[in-house]
Amino acid sequence: MVIEKFDSNQPHPNRDTLQGYLDQILDPKNSQLVEEHLGSCSSCQEQIDSLEKLYLRLDTLVEISLNKNFSQGVMEMIQDQKQVSRGITWTLVIEAITAGIILGVILPAPKLSIWIPRLVNTQLEIQIGLNIFLAQLFSQWMLWWAQLKFSFTQFTEPFQIPLDSSTILPTAWIWILLAAGLGLLINGLLLRINFSPGNEN
């Protein structure tokens, strides 16, 4: 660390130099100059004395007793967290598979959509089904986003760590879900176009 060098041209060492002297981080030559100055300057010596006294007093601070055992509470919180995390993983797996099916089957659906009404019979049922599914997907996505946002804040704050693979992976899955949701939306629009009264054969 760079602390301005004290020399005999200055009337007094600055506060960083005095503090550095007390914390014993000055180089030996600088430290000796400060020491010589202190021998002839009562004002600086007073400052040093006051700080030294403070150091000694801080050393005497007695810690307060702890009447609570935290280990059980912490262990319970960790167990809860593990259960939630397991639940999250399974939900993510199921949603990812669903997303894959949606992306692979329904998204390229302009032609497939011609088949769907014959299976389900009415256009209205398809629209209702799609809307429910989209709403569920969207609410899931929002929930996930909120949970991730919470965990990012909670886990990265004290360390300022960058995102790692454990946080990027779920984020990627959320994007897959979002893509799937958009796919559904597009599909829904295409269905609407295909089955608007003018287009229906």
Q: Interface with another protein by CB under 8 A: which residues?
A: 1, 15-16, 19, 25, 50-51, 53-55, 57-58, 60-75, 77-79, 81, 154-155, 157-161
Residues 6+ apart with CB under 8 A from 139: none
Among all chains, which residue has been given the structure tokens 């949970």? 147
Give me the least distance between CB of 3 and another protein, in Å please.
9
Smaller CB separation from another protein, 8 or 71: 71
Residue with tokens 């006051």: 50
The answer to whether the CB of 194 falls within 8 A of the CB of 140 is: no
Which CB, 36 or 46, lies closer to another protein? Answer: 46
CB of 39 to another protein, least distance (A): 22
- Cβ at position 62, least distance to another protein in Å: 5
Strand, coil or helix: what is 113?
helix
b/e map of 35-53 (b: 16 or more CB within 10 Å)?
Answer: eebbeebeebeebbeeeee
Nearer to another protein, 5 or 53 (CB): 53
Q: How far is the CB of 118 from another protein (least distance, A)?
A: 52
